[in-house]
Amino acid sequence: MRNFIDTFFKGDKVIWLLFCTFIVLSALIMYSASSFLAHRSSSYYGPVWSHCNFLFIGFVVAFVVHHIPFRVINKLVPLIYLVSFVLVLLAAFGGVSVNGASRWLSLGPINIQPSELMKIAIILMVSYVWTGRADKGADSSFWWCALICVVPAFIIMLDNMSTFLLIMVVFACMTLYAGVSWKIIWKVGGSALAVLVLLVGIALLTPREQESNSGVASIENAEKKESSKSLFSRGATWTKRVHKFFDEGRPHDENYKLEGDTYQEDRAKIAVASGKWFGVGIGNSVQRDLLPLAFADFIFSIIVEEWGFFALLIPMLYLIFLYRVGIMVQNYCSSYNYALVSLGLSTMIVVQAFVNIFISVGLFPVSGQSLPLFSRGGTSIVITCICFGLILNISREVMEQRDKQRDKERKEVKKRELKKIES
C-alpha cells in the first residue's frame, strides 16, 4: 500500500492528506446544505451527486497536473495568461449574466468563469516574470508585474469587486515574498489604501435605494434587475453592500421581519447563532431550507449551525495547509519560481476561504467569494484543484531533487570511505 502511494501520489504527503480531507468534508457538507437545490430540482440526491462529480473531476485533474514536469508548465505560462486574458475580455463584454454579474462565458452546454482561471494565470505569469528577471532585482520587475496583474484585474473589477480585491491582496503578498523594497511597497500600498478608503466613503455617502420586496422573491427580482444593467452599473451593488455592512439603523425588536436585501445575511447569522457550542448535528440544519445560497456563498454558516464550535476545524485546516506550504518552501524550495508560485497559490486559497468565512459570520461585507472546495460550483472546484495540483507538482519536484542530492552525497561519502580503506 505504501509503495502504491509513493509511486502514484508523489510530493508532500501532508498536503495530499489535507487535499483529500477537504474533498471528503466537502461532499459531507454539501449533503447538508443542498436542500434548497434539491427542492428546485425535485431530486434529493441530484445536487449532491453533481457536486461529487465535480470533486472527482477536480481530483483527477489535480492528479494529472501534479505529474506533469513543471518546466513544461512554465513554458506554457505566457500562453495560459494570454488565453485567460482573452476569455476574461469575452466574458466581460459578452458573457452570461449569473446573479447579476456578466462574468460567465457560455461554451455550449458548459458555463465557465474566466476570472477563476485568470487568478491562477496572474500568479504564474507574475512568478514567471520575476524569476526571468531575478538577476536584475525584484524592484526592476515590480512595475511589469503590477501591469500584468492590474490590467486583467481591473476588467474583472467591472463585474466582481471582491475578486479584484482578492487578486490585489495576493499580489501584495507575492510582492513581499519577492523581496521588493519597502520604499516601493509603502508608496504603492499607501496609494491603494487611499483609493480603497475613498471608494468606501463614496459608497457610504451615496443615497440608498428603497427596497420593497421581501424574502426569496426579492433575491430573484434583484437578479433579473441586475441582469438588465450595463457593464458599469455594478457600482450600485457595491454601494448597497457597503451600506448594509455599516448600517446601524436596522431594528432589532420582536417585530423585525426578515426581508429585502438583508434576507440572506440575516438567515446566515441565525444559522451561526443556532449552532451554539455543539451544533444541531450533521444533516439537522434548519436554515438550509430557508437560505437560498446555503450551498454557495453562505455554506460556512450551515457548517457552524450543524457543527457548533467544531466548525473551527475548517479554518484550522486552511491555516495548516498554508503553514505546510510555507515549511515546504523554506526547507526544500531552492528555486525562486517554485517558491513564488507555491506561496501565491496557497495564499489565494486561504485568503479567499477566510473572506467567505468572515462574510458568513457577519465580519465582512457580502461578496461573491466561494469557500474553496466546499461551495458548489464546477469552475471554482476544478480551478482550486488545479491550484492544489500545481503545489503538489512543485512539492514532488523539490522532494525528488532533495532525494537525488541525498543519494549523491551518500555516493560521495562511500567513495571517500573506499579511498580511505584502499590507502
Tens-place pLDDT, residues 99-134: 555 577 777 667 788 888 999 999 999 999 988 776
Separation between Cα atoms, residue 81 and residue 128, nearest integer Å: 11
- CA nearest neighbour of 104 among 117, 93, 91, 94: 91
Among all chains, which residue has been given the C-alpha cell 449574466? Answer: 97
Residue 78: which H helix or E strand, with range?
Answer: helix 70-94
Is residue 29 within 8 Å of 302, Cβ to Cβ?
Answer: yes
- CA nearest neighbour of 379 among 160, 161, 119, 32: 119
Q: What is the pTM of this model?
A: 0.82
Instruction: Mention every residue, 6+ apart, whose C-beta is less than 8 A from residue 412.
Output: none
- In this prediction, residue 99 carries a pLDDT of 57
Question: How would you class 286 by CB atoms within 10 Å of its CB: exposed for 0-12, middle for 13-18, buried for 19 or more?
Answer: middle
Is residue 138 within 8 Å of 91, Cβ to Cβ?
Answer: no
Separation between Cα atoms, residue 210 and residue 107, nearest integer Å: 37
DSSP 91-140: HHHHPEEETTEEEEEEETTEEE-HHHHHHHHHHHHHHHHHHHTGGG-HHH
Tens-place pLDDT, residues 357-415: 888 887 777 777 888 998 888 888 999 999 999 999 999 988 888 878 788 888 888 88
- In this prediction, residue 46 carries a pLDDT of 65
Separation between Cα atoms, residue 49 and residue 34, nearest integer Å: 11
pLDDT of 216 > 70? The answer is no
Q: What is the mean pLDDT of the chain?
A: 78
